[in-house]
Amino acid sequence: MWNPQTGQIVSAANPSTAGDVLSIYTTSLFEGGGSPQVAIGGKQAEILFFGDAPGYPGFYRSTSAMPSGVRPGSAVLFD
């Protein structure tokens, strides 16, 4: 999961805050295969975009907003 505003991977050293827009690139999901869900710290994140990742054939991008009330940590569930 990375923060496109900073261009950096989200980590304990580079945390995200509520409202930040975060992106995930994957090959294991596909358009038309259902809507992905992103949970961060057990809280559902709003999906802002899901589709082809421009410039990366075979990859898909999910962009979501970091939910509020997530305690600091590294727990991210992508369904």
Please state, for a pLDDT cut of 90, what percent of the chain lies above it. 11
Residue 28 has what DSSP assignment?
S
Domain that includes residue 41, residue range: 2-78
Residue 18 burial (CB count, 10 A): 11
In this predicted structure, the answer to whether residue 16 has a pLDDT above a threshold of 70 is: yes
List the Cα angle 58/44/42 in 5-degree steps. Answer: 105
Residue 77 C-alpha from the chain's centroid: 9
More confident residue, 19 or 36: 19
HSE of 76, CA atoms in CB hemisphere, 13 A:
19
**Which pLDDT belongs to residue 64?**
92
Domain count, the chain: 1
Note the pLDDT tens digit of each residue in 36-57.
788 888 889 999 998 888 898 8
pLDDT-derived band at 15, boundaries 50, 70, 90: confident
